[in-house]
Amino acid sequence: MFKFRIVLPFAFLIPCVVHANNNDLWYLGIRVGSTHHSDIFSGINKNVSLLDNDDIGGGLFTGYNITPWFAIETGYTWLGNTELDFNNGDGIKVKSQAIDLVGKFTWHTNDYIGIYAKLGGSYIYSKAKYFGTDFKDNNINGTVGAGFEFSLKDNLLARLEYQYYHDIELKDKGYHDNWNSQFYGLSLIYSWGASDYKDISSTPRYVDKVYTSRLKELKFDIPFEFDDATVTSNIVDQMSPVLERLKNEDLSKIYITGYTDSTGKGSYNKKLSERRANAVYDSVRNDLLNISDSRIIIKGEGEAKPRASNKTKDGRAKNRRVEIFSPSIDTEVIIQEPIKNDK
């Protein structure tokens, strides 16, 4: 029986990943591991000498990040062979392969590690050879998966993953069997648009002095037209100081808060302010892919906290806004100089 003893260095897997254009949210990966098939051949009453329901599996997949926490993913997986031998020399051999389409939900515990779950469907093609006769079938099945995702270097990710394929069926020419398949493995992924890796493990070789410096708060407004939630200008340049701080300072946060003037009902204004805040977030979403969800706070406050009087046209215009705010934070600054050698 095959046992999961695969040890492959990353240097072997990296050349198998295909590079593509920058400035996209696509990713492409390769997976390799072990497969296990349960409840297979359960309806066959034979004198069994050997059942081997474990094999090597693997495949390719690609996906698109719709939001920082949700992606659509599709791919091909070879689910391996399953063999059943009888004492009389006869036997059955079943091969399976799958094409998946799943939704992937990821919770980022920090900027480098994520926990994910996958849910969707799979088209599975199976083929069996029994007493010299070939049997073939294909069907649509449910599939779920889960695992851990790790950010490595230069937009490179790794996964430890598990995936379950439910109730695979092979029914052809009087032959009928059902089973469940499982895949355990390691994946290596190239992702376009991921932020540059930061080496947080390196320690300065020469340290003279460490002190705390306070980075001042960043705060500005993005105006909106009356009863509108459309971002009319390119705000990436305007928000670049905040975006750079989020990428470089792990303790920094951003508050994106929408407001309205006092025209109309309060309940409508509350929803309008939330739409404005989300519109600003969507405009810079590509720059926030590797930022933990806990550091991005999006909300709408309706007509609360006006900047000016709502009795004048100019005052109402000032109140129709989204406020961008990043609080001041303390950061360590290291002054380095070479350590003199003892003589």
What tens-digit pLDDT sequence spans the chain (343 residues)?
434 333 344 333 333 333 333 334 899 999 999 999 887 766 565 445 456 778 899 999 999 999 889 999 999 999 988 887 765 656 788 899 999 999 999 999 988 899 999 999 999 998 888 777 888 888 999 999 999 999 888 789 999 999 999 988 888 777 787 888 999 999 999 988 654 444 444 445 565 677 788 889 999 999 999 999 988 877 888 888 999 999 888 889 999 999 999 999 999 999 999 999 999 998 888 888 788 889 999 999 999 999 999 999 999 999 999 999 999 988 877 777 666 655 4
Task: Report the C-alpha dihedral over residues 265, 270, 274, 275, rounded to 10 degrees.
Answer: -10
**Dist CA 89 CA 178 (whole Å):** 24
Query: H or E stretch including 165?
Result: strand 156-172
DSSP helix/strand/coil, 95: strand
The DSSP string of 204-265 is: -S---EEEEEEEPPEEEEEE--TT-----S--HHHHHHHHHHHHH-TT--EEEEEE--S-S-
Q: Say what the pLDDT of residue 276 is.
A: 93
Q: Give alpha helix (H) positions in the chain.
A: 10-13, 236-248, 266-283, 313-319
118-166 residue pLDDT tens: 999 999 998 888 777 888 888 999 999 999 999 888 789 999 999 999 9
Location of each CATH 3.30.1330.60 domain in the chain: 210-335
Class of CATH domain 26-192? mainly beta
Location of each CATH 2.40.160.20 domain in the chain: 26-192
Task: Tell the CATH topology of 210-335.
Answer: 60s Ribosomal Protein L30; Chain: A; (3.30.1330)
Tokens linked to 255: 């508050």
**Dist CA 55 CA 183 (whole Å):** 10
Q: Say what the pLDDT of residue 3 is.
A: 40
Total count of residues recorded for the chain = 343
Task: Report the C-alpha dihedral over residues 42, 48, 49, 55, rounded to 10 degrees.
Answer: -20
**Dist CA 163 CA 117 (whole Å):** 9
Q: Say what the pLDDT of residue 205 is.
A: 58
